[in-house]
Amino acid sequence: MRSARLLRVIRIVRLTAFAVRAAESSREVLEERGLQYALATGAILFVAAAAAVTLFERGNGGNIDSFGDGIWWAAATVTTVGYGDRFPVTPEGRGIAVFLMLLGISLFSFTTANLSAFFVKPQNEEQDGSPTLADVMEQLRRLEAEIVELRLASAASGGQ
Domain with residue 44: its CATH number is 1.10.287.70
Say if residue 4 is in the same domain as residue 24. Answer: yes
User: Which residues, other chains included, contact 86 with Cβ-Cβ below 8 Å and sequence gap of 6+?
Assistant: 63, 64, 69, 72, 73, 76
Query: Is the residue at 87 inside a domain?
Result: yes
Residue 65 and residue 28 share a domain: no
Q: Which residue, 65, 51, 68, 57, is CA-closest to 90?
A: 57
Q: How many domains does the chain have?
A: 2
pLDDT at 159 over 70: no
Q: Is 21 helix (H, G, I), strand (E, B) or coil?
A: helix
Dump pLDDT digits (tens) for 23-63: 777 777 667 777 888 888 999 999 999 999 999 998 888 88
27 is in which domain, residue-wise?
1-32
The model's pLDDT over 62-112, given as tens digits with 9 standing for 90+, comes to 889 999 999 999 999 998 887 888 889 999 999 999 999 999 999 999 989
Is 124's pLDDT higher than 60? no
